[in-house]
Amino acid sequence: MNVEDSRQMMGLLKLLGCNQVDDVYQADIVILNTCSIRAKAEHKIYSELGRLKRLKEDKDLIICVAGCVAEQEEKSIIKRFPFVDIVMGPDQVGFLPELVTSCLKDRDTPPKKTYRKTGFQLKDDYQFLHVMPEQKEVSVKAFVNIQKGCDNFCAYCIVPHVRGREASRPSTQIIDEIKSLTQLGVREVTLLGQNVNSYGLKENNDITFAQLLERIASQTELKRLRFATSHPRDVSDALIEQFASNPILAPHFHLPLQSGSDRILKLMNRGYTRKHYLTIVEKLKKQNSHLCFSTDLIVGFPSETNQEFEDTLSVMKDVNFVQTYSFIYSPRPHTSAARMPDDVLLKEKQMRLKRLQDLDSEITLKQNHSDVGTVRYVLVEAVQQENQKPFMGRTEHNKIVHFTSKNVYHPGDFARVTISQANPHSLFGE
To ligand SF4, the closest distance from the beta carbon of 106 in angstroms equals 37
Distance CA 69, CA 36 (A): 5
Asked whether position 267 contacts ligand SF4 by CB under 6 A, the answer is no
Distance (Å, rounded) from C-alpha 40 to C-alpha 26? 28
- Least CB distance to ligand SF4 at residue 158 (A): 8
The answer to whether the bond into 34 is cis (omega within 30° of 0) is no
Shorter beta-carbon distance to ligand SF4: residue 32 or 228:
228
127-186 residues in contact with ligand SF4 (CB under 6 A) are 150, 152-154, 157, 159-160
The C-alpha atoms of residue 34 and residue 172 are separated, in whole angstroms, by 30
* Residue 70 binding ligand SF4, by CB under 6 A: no
Specify the residue, 164 or 412, whose C-beta has the smaller distance to ligand SF4. 164
Give Cβ neighbours of residue 6 (< 8 Å, ≥ 6 apart).
31, 33
CB 397 within 8 Å of CB 419: no
Q: How far is the CB of 193 from ligand SF4 (least distance, A)?
A: 9
**Binding ligand SF4 by CB under 6 A: which of 148, 226, 231, 352?**
231
Q: Is 206 helix (H, G, I), strand (E, B) or coil?
A: coil
Nearer to ligand SF4, 165 or 389 (CB): 165
Distance separating alpha carbons of residues 150 and 158, to the nearest angstrom: 10
Q: What one-letter code names the amino acid at 286?
A: K
Cα separation, 348 vs 359, in Å, equals: 17
Nearer to ligand SF4, 93 or 159 (CB): 159
Of 171 and 195, CB closest to ligand SF4: 195
Residue 101 interacts with ligand SF4 (CB under 6 A)? no
Contact indicator for 9, 33 with CB cutoff of 8 Å: yes
**Smallest distance, Å, CB 201 to ligand SF4?**
14
For the chain, helix (H) and strand (E) counts, in that order, are 13, 17
Compose the 182-221 pattern: x for residues touching ligand SF4 by CB under 6 A, - for all others.
------------xx--------------------------
Q: Which chain residues interact with ligand SF4 by CB under 6 A?
A: 150, 152-154, 157, 159-160, 194-195, 231
